[in-house]
A and B are shown apart, each in its own frame.
Chain A
């Protein structure tokens, strides 16, 4: 089989739509195009039936009932609705929210807005491997705390928080628990009852479904309340108005069904590919450093590999490996020139953060691609190290920390 270039190995950012998902969606564009809210004709009934099936499929993936699923435009909206909706509804109960420094911007920026409105937010630091531990959460809970909002797994470094144990301590204190399960839903087991979760955000396009559709799980027993953030026709039991994206929802349902059925075998294969890639890079290149939990710790997403290639700047490296689509923690493209806040929160120095590359392995990556990428990256790193004054100085035995860098900020 010949290799098709470029290779997509950035599956944390998005995933291709599975052809089986697309096939399921197609009739809902042209043939069964009805509005799921049309209660008086066959077109509406057909659309509603499809939406309700998808609700059950997504619910089943999370160990929830379909009736606890609220459709949204994606995880960013789900997160906004959960945090703002809960904060507003429970404001008489308290004004304190707990989250972590390594959360996605959708959570962090929503929390910042809530702070401006008078809420208090604790941004928990993380351990060296990027995880928040139950005792860290327990210590931060006060009698004003209404919500703990954490991701199940981190999108950059793949660190999986011990959500089940955190759920225990959060529940013991009678606080609501929101989990951003975008990176884990359909990838590793996540059960809202086992983890004592009250609200959870998921996205279709991270699990081989279409872009523009997501869901928010909202617990019914005991009932969790929200103030809607989008007003209108009162769809989704009043929690999210707006005509449902029927083809997208059908696709998300099918994607959830496939992920649930194939998770056990897919996880093993992807983890083996990740380990193969890391082993090959480690054998070929000195001075590379894994960011986040050890691959065999059980606390790392199977498809995630985040590595710093010392003395080679990440964006420059991505340019050298243009046949491979990955992502870098060197935010060299951003106006601030600050490297990844997630890597910084782990205590990784800025100089190493600038050299990091995130590989995201997914359903459609082959072993042949893994070998190609390992080889391609090795060549690129070697070429750029020959070009790097820092590599030259390190080889000469100069301690880079001993130098007074003029531009140090």
Chain B
């Protein structure tokens, strides 16, 4: 199976690889997938006034999984969290030209950003509660 040029580009030059301080109040972390399934994504965002200022990822998976998470970090930077919640896996799959067997990689990337936002929001709620 041949990879699309965009997948290869993200795979060879992944954007925003790394980690943010997961204990910080303004950081949301999403960890999705499972080692037994062959894909795990960790996606983190740093939020200021509801806007995603920074995004980082680390992914265990195939080229399409790495490219999907790399693309999402690139897209969500500068987005409002509500806007980022609207991100659909189909947009990722379309941008990267993923074949049907790799659609689950884009689904995982959507799950990862949603999980990161949910984690950030839960932290904010907890802060308000205190």
Contact = CB atoms under 8 A, between A and B. Distances in A.
Contacts of A334: 101
A172 interface: no
B30 to A, nearest CB: 10
Contacts of B129: none
Contacts of B111: 406
A392 B19 contact: yes
B59 A389 contact: yes
Interface string B1-25: 1010000000100100101000000
Given A351-B36, A407-B37, A316 B65 contact: yes
Given A334-B101, A386-B17, A315 B63 contact: yes
Interface residues of B, number: 30
A142 interface: no
Interface string A318-332: 011000000000101
B35 A354 contact: yes
Contacts of A407: 32-34, 37, 39, 108
B61 A408 contact: no
A313 B38 contact: yes
A73 B61 CA distance: 38
Given A315-B63, A316-B63, A405-B33, A330 B58 contact: no
A389 B36 contact: no
Given A313-B60, A316-B63, A333-B101, A409 B36 contact: yes
B34 A406 contact: yes
Interface in B93-113: 101, 104, 108, 111
A403 B65 CA distance: 21
A19 B108 CA distance: 48
A139 interface: no
A171 to B, nearest CB: 42
A60 interface: no
Contacts of B122: none
A38 interface: no
B31 interface: yes
A53 interface: no
B72 interface: no
B104 A400 contact: no
A247 B17 CA distance: 54
A311 B33 CA distance: 14
B101 A409 contact: no
Interface string A378-404: 000000001111111000000010010
Contacts of B3: 319
A333 B41 contact: no
B76 interface: no
A123 B126 CA distance: 55
Contacts of B59: 387-389
Contacts of A313: 38-39, 60-62, 65
B37 A409 contact: yes
B65 to A, nearest CB: 7
Nearest to B63: A319
Contacts of B32: 406-407
Given A313-B39, A387-B17, A405 B34 contact: yes
A349 B37 CA distance: 11
B46 to A, nearest CB: 17
Contact of A350 (B14, B19, B36): B36
B109 to A, nearest CB: 13
Nearest to B99: A333
Contacts of A333: 1, 62, 101
A145 B58 CA distance: 53
A312 interface: yes
Nearest to A328: B62
Contacts of A391: 60
A389 B58 contact: yes
B35 A390 contact: yes
A394 B117 CA distance: 25
Nearest to B59: A387
A390 B40 contact: yes
Interface of A: 311-316, 319-320, 330, 332-335, 337, 339, 349-351, 354, 386-392, 400, 403, 405-409
6 contacts: A314-B38, A315-B38, A316-B11, A320-B11, A332-B62, A389-B41
